[in-house]
């Protein structure tokens, strides 16, 4: 099994991981997964914002439940919002506003480099700007760039040069309940390109869960990590 890890977090998949780790029957969590998605999809058209906005769009898109109509409506709302701000930067100090909208726009099939005539990626090209929120700014900026394989704008001073390593974490369990499973880590070799591609063998029996930690270092020498979502497999496939 070959997986390319792109760090992105969604509340929708967090719910699925919780349900899959509770030891219930497969049909139970699948029913809850489906019911949750249908309830979210039945809400009003997604708007811009943390509640009922980008995280809703990302969750529905990743689960295959985002309709063309909902995606188009969200992109229209996002365009109007960005035009109302009138800048590549949506907030004077909160770069995560740009990052969140980039995630939502990408999930909806839009282009964050031209949304309402503004380039939200260019709004994240300044390192001092995204560091104004501490490590939260760089973390979400990197997630935003990675979600669509977007290049970092050349006119800024932001770069990926502070990526210092990565670790693969994995655990095996006879059931979907990993609470008593031992989780082991192994360093990953430096990639030939900007992306880590990891080959993870499927388990012979039971289930395997794995994720990757990307390790970054700040200018003052401190390290922080960005984790991918958790992937779960059985002997035959990625779940």
Per-residue pLDDT tens digits for 111-128:
999 999 999 999 998 888
Length of the chain, in residues: 239
Give 48: exposed, middle or buried? Use CB within 10 Å, 0-12, 13-18, 19+: buried
Taking 60 as the threshold, does the pLDDT of residue 146 lie above it? yes
pLDDT at 239: 87
pTM above 0.85, yes or no: no
CA distance 148 to 47: 21
Q: What is the pLDDT of residues 29-60, one digit of tens each?
A: 778 888 888 888 887 788 898 888 899 999 89
Q: What is the mean pLDDT of residues 84-105?
A: 95
Which residue has better confidence, 157 or 178? 178
Q: Residue 71 contacts by C-beta under 8 Å, 6 or more apart in sequence? A: 57, 61, 108, 109, 110
CA distance 86 to 18: 40
Q: What is the mean pLDDT of residues 76-90?
A: 95
Lowest mean pLDDT among 72-76, 86-90, 119-123, 157-161: 157-161
């Amino acid at each position: 099994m070959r997986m390319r890890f792109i760090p992105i977090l969604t509340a929708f998949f967090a719910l699925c991981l919780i349900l899959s780790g509770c030891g219930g029957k497969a049909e139970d969590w699948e029913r809850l997964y489906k019911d949750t998605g249908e309830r979210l999809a039945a809400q009003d058209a997604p708007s811009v914002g943390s509640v009922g906005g980008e995280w809703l769009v990302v969750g529905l898109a990743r689960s295959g439940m985002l309709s063309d109509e909902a995606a188009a409506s969200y992109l229209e709302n996002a365009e109007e919002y960005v035009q109302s701000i009138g800048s590549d930067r949506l907030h004077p100090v909160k770069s995560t506003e740009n990052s969140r909208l980039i995630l939502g726009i990408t999930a909806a099939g839009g282009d964050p480099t031209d949304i309402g005539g503004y380039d939200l990626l260019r709004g994240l090209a300044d390192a001092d700007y995204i560091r104004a929120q501490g490590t939260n700014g760089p973390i979400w900026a990197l997630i935003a760039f990675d979600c669509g394989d977007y290049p970092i704008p050349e006119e800024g001073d932001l770069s990926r040069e502070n990526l210092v390593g990565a670790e693969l974490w994995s655990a095996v369990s006879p059931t979907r309940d990993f609470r008593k499973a031992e989780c082991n880590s192994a360093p990953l070799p430096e990639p030939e390109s900007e992306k880590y591609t990891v080959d993870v063998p499927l388990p012979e029996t039971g289930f395997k869960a794995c994720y990757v930690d990307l390790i970054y270092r700040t200018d003052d020498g401190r390290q922080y990590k960005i984790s991918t979502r958790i992937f779960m497999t059985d002997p035959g496939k990625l779940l």
